[in-house]
């Protein structure tokens, strides 16, 4: 049986779920690594993410979670 093809895009909540994060944690990850302003962050709920975006965010989330200097949660 063939595997399902990857989704062409993910909503904010789907991307967060794929990463095992809450939407708030996902927005914190975006703010920390991708988005420059709070105004841009307010558009994240209307943004779609490609599978490659989710992969990059997974790598960033893993790096942050495994960082020995991490003292605050991703929020």
Summarize pLDDT for 3-27 with one digit per residue, the tens: 667 788 999 999 999 999 999 999 8
Please state the pTM of the whole predicted model: 0.70
Signed CA dihedral, 39, 41, 43, 47: sign only = positive
What 3-state DSSP class applies to 49? strand
> 12-19 and 51-65 helices cross at what angle (nearest 10)?
50
Model pLDDT for residues 27-53, shown as the tens digit of each residue: 889 888 888 777 677 777 788 999 999
The domain total for the chain is 1
Range of the domain at 30: 12-63
Provide the greatest CA pair distance for the chain. Answer: 45
Q: Is residue 5 part of a domain?
A: no
**Is 28 a member of any domain?**
yes
Q: CA 5, CA 18: separation in Å to the nearest integer? A: 15
Among residues 74, 64, 66, which one has the least CA distance to residue 25?
74
């Amino acid at each position: 049986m063939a595997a399902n093809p990857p989704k062409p895009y993910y909503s904010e909540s789907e991307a967060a779920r794929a990463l095992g994060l809450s939407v708030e944690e996902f927005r914190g990850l975006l703010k920390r690594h991708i988005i420059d302003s709070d105004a841009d962050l307010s558009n994240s709920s209307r943004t779609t993410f490609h599978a490659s975006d989710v992969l990059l965010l997974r790598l960033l989330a893993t790096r942050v979670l495994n960082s020995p200097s991490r003292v605050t949660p991703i929020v």
